[in-house]
Amino acid sequence: MPAPGGKTKSFVSLLDLIFNSIVESKTLEYTIAALRLEAILKFIPNFTDEQGMQNEEILIDKLNDEEWVANQNLDRNEIVEKIIELNPLLNRLSSEFPIHRGRYGFFQKSFLSKSEIVDYYKSLKNPSLKIELIFDDLVNLFLSGGFNGSYIFIDDFERIPDFQSDRQKRDFALEIRTCFYDGISTNAKLGFFNLIMMLHAGVPALMQKAWGDTGMEQRSPINSISEQSNHVVFFDKLNKNHAKLLIQKYLSEYRIREDTNTLYPFTEEAITKIGEMNEYNAARILRDSYLLIEIAAKEGIESIDEDFVIKIKKEKEDLEEETTSKIEDLKSVNLLSKSGKK
């Protein structure tokens, strides 16, 4: 998700968020573990049985543990040669990528790890090198580890163009086209990373000119979409059934014990009223549901029905009106005159 306040103006700023998401997803650990295990199994077919590691999470942790790997009775050179032999895509990694810091980086002095790759990314100052790492090196690394594709989901996309100049919008759109469609990177050729942007009302208009100037309107239209557009997922306005499912899911995640009535303590009429009062806005529905539960708990209310929802809504409006009135009744103070300045 782009940072608020216009901090994500450039494509490189977005790349930092993408890379951090990759790191947090543990995809790097899975990939490194897969490469090591594939090679080891060529020499010791029953290796995982001997180690008693049928649990996938434990296996991944062990294969990413430098000390554990070093203590195994394995010929490191042979294993690394087998890794390279089984995964020729690794030869396409840039010369500065951690795997090339020593021919046998997977097992010896330069033990390839998530932290090594993170440190390498942080050391890159040139934006083009960051682009190369993500859209070339990581694509080849993930393909070698058995992954065949990935989705990059950008929520609240409007936080980016809202703060961009026309030039920044055009440069941003051009980078998207180069990295995802028409560039020379591995990703542009294979489409490993697929970009999904959440566009709220008004966002297409913000990007319209830049999208057209860079040719993105021909590749992935956002200004001339229709119900037949197969690259667009439309989100219709929520209704009372959606509100019911939303609250039901919310309650199931936080309920201490299972209950046969999955909507408890809400009645269906109460949920309908909550949805109507909030114009079926998901965030506001969840906000009010939480507040109603808190108030009901304090007042010892067993069931949140329609009347209770209306009562709390009225009390809230009265409080807001009273607060506004008090602010309006306050006497104004001329701060300039008090400072002694004219």
**CA-based nearest residue to 214, from 173, 178, 166:** 173
Residue linked to tokens 């790191």? 23
**Last residue in a domain, options 81, 97, 129:** 129
**CA-based nearest residue to 29, from 112, 153, 121, 132:** 112
Please report the pLDDT score of residue 52 as a whole number: 65
Residue 84 in domain: yes
Please report the pLDDT score of residue 109 as a whole number: 39
Residue 321 in domain: yes
| Cα distances (angstroms) measured from residue 187 to each of 84, 131, 148, 158, 226 | 21, 10, 11, 25, 28
Task: Per residue of the chain (342 residues), give pLDDT as tens.
Answer: 787 777 888 999 999 999 999 999 999 999 999 988 888 888 888 877 766 677 788 888 888 887 787 777 776 667 777 777 888 898 898 888 887 655 444 544 345 788 989 999 999 999 999 999 999 999 999 999 999 999 999 988 889 998 999 999 999 999 999 999 999 999 999 999 999 998 887 888 889 999 999 999 988 998 888 777 888 888 778 888 999 999 998 888 888 776 666 888 899 999 999 999 998 888 899 999 999 999 999 999 989 999 999 998 888 877 666 655 555 555 655 655 655 555
Number of domain units in the chain: 2
pTM score of the predicted model: 0.73
Residue 273 in domain: yes
**Burial bucket for residue 4 (CB in 10 Å: 0-12, 13-18, 19+):** exposed
Q: Which residues pair with 152 in a beta bridge?
A: 195
> 28 with 80: CB under 8 angstroms?
no
Q: Look up residue 157 and give its DSSP letter.
A: G
Residue 316 in domain: yes
**Last residue in a domain, options 114, 129, 144:** 129
102 Cβ contact list (under 8 Å, min separation 6): 108, 109, 110
Q: Which residues pair with 304 in a beta bridge?
A: 266
Residue 305 in domain: yes
Domain containing 113 equals 24-129
> 28 with 134: CB under 8 angstroms?
no
Residue 235 in domain: no
> 80 with 103: CB under 8 angstroms?
yes
d(CA 14, CA 12): 5
Distance of CA 10 to the CA centre of its chain: 17
Would you state the structure tokens that stand for residue 214, as one six-digit string?
Answer: 């860079």
d(CA 9, CA 162): 9
Residue 340 in domain: no
**CA-based nearest residue to 259, from 291, 302, 300, 297:** 302
Would you state the structure tokens that stand for residue 232, as one six-digit string?
Answer: 């667009």
Residue 48 in domain: yes
Q: What is the pLDDT of residues 95-151, one digit of tens each?
A: 888 876 554 445 443 457 889 899 999 999 999 999 999 999 999 999 999 999 999
**Last residue in a domain, options 129, 149, 172:** 129
Q: Using only C-alpha atoms, what is the Rg of the chain?
A: 28
**Burial bucket for residue 247 (CB in 10 Å: 0-12, 13-18, 19+):** buried
**Which three-class secondary structure state does DSSP give residue 193?**
strand
d(CA 191, CA 201): 28
